[in-house]
Structure 1
Amino acid sequence: MTVAAAAVGPVAGATAGAAPDPAAALNAAAGAFPVSPGASVSPGASVSPGASAEGGSSAAQGASARDASAARPIPGTDAAIQRWFLDNGAVKVRFNDALLQAERAVASGDVTGCQQLDAAARALSAPLPALERLSPAGQKLAATMRTPLSTFAAAATACLAKDFAAAQVALDSGVVQQADAQETVDEILDGDL
């Protein structure tokens, strides 16, 4: 398929009087137009903003998609969400420390090692309502974080009741849930969910 190169002005690395490299000109357009692998570029032609290599969408559709994405900021760039994560970073570190201690305590049958996990899970859950109030993305983030925290709280409760087998199962489940939650949090922050 042939795609016309956009007229974009001087291309980085081009010398005066030299013929412009059509592929470099297309790349200089910052990826605004999808190009299929193996597509060839016709020098000197122009590309309309809504066009694709497949010849599909109109300029109006491209403009409305850009307007919609511009109206929705990426949650990870939201100053209030960033502040929430910064303000709660120390609580998260204490939680991680308590989680490691609880894993050792459950393995050795030590009830006292689980007390900090219970307190740390509650401390990390406490600021979630503030995150929810920030935005719809904050609501998604808080909901995502809640599941593993409640599983870790259940592990602490089982450990404190000396039910170390149930505590181990809950810890193992919580670790898997936490990994899944972290992936989801990253996608929410990136604006992918």
Structure 2
Amino acid sequence: IFVFSEENVWKLCEQVKKTRPEELSKCYAVFVSNEGRTVPLWRQKAGRGDDQVVIWDYHVFFMHNPSPSRCLVFDLDTTLPFPTYFHKYVTETFRSDLALRPEHHRFFRVIPAETYLTEFASDRRHMRRPDGSWIKPPPSYPPIQSSSSAHSLGDFICMTAGKGPGTVYSLSEFVYTFYKSQLAQQQNNK
């Protein structure tokens, strides 16, 4: 099980910028959370039962959207293939909000990779116990810092529209934006 998912995604964005800079504008960091920080996800390595369901306070994955029919999700914590096509990932990981109580509805903050690389920062305080010891050992590289902050993680986890970087979507808006609108575009191109 990978921890520090927000840093893993930052490192993926950094790798794309170094090796395939022409693709960076098609890449996103996606934070999943809600006001109560209780978001159920299925098909997770940390999950339990046949469905491998877990409730996270937040989750982060990388998305590459090179063309209307090829949106891919890279999630190091999923039991699905790496990467997975958007529709399969969303269907199996988030399922539907209809069967969930409203306090468990998931929201998605989608941040362009370039913005994520310049604005994200974490001093890793969220991974320390009150006595200062680590909940999980940190990565060997230094904490990620930005020019304006030592710790901006809260701005990314916040799911209030208009606050923080990127755009916040409900599950249905997220699916419409990155899947259904693409299907409509494909139909129009035929």
| Pairwise same-fold verdict (TM > 0.5) | no
Of structures 1 and 2, the one with the larger relative CO (CA 8 A, separation 6+) is 2
Q: Which has the larger radius of gyration?
A: 1
TM-score by length of structure 2 reads 0.26
Q: More helix by proportion, 1 or 2?
A: 1
TM-score by length of structure 1 reads 0.26
Q: More strand by proportion, 1 or 2?
A: 2
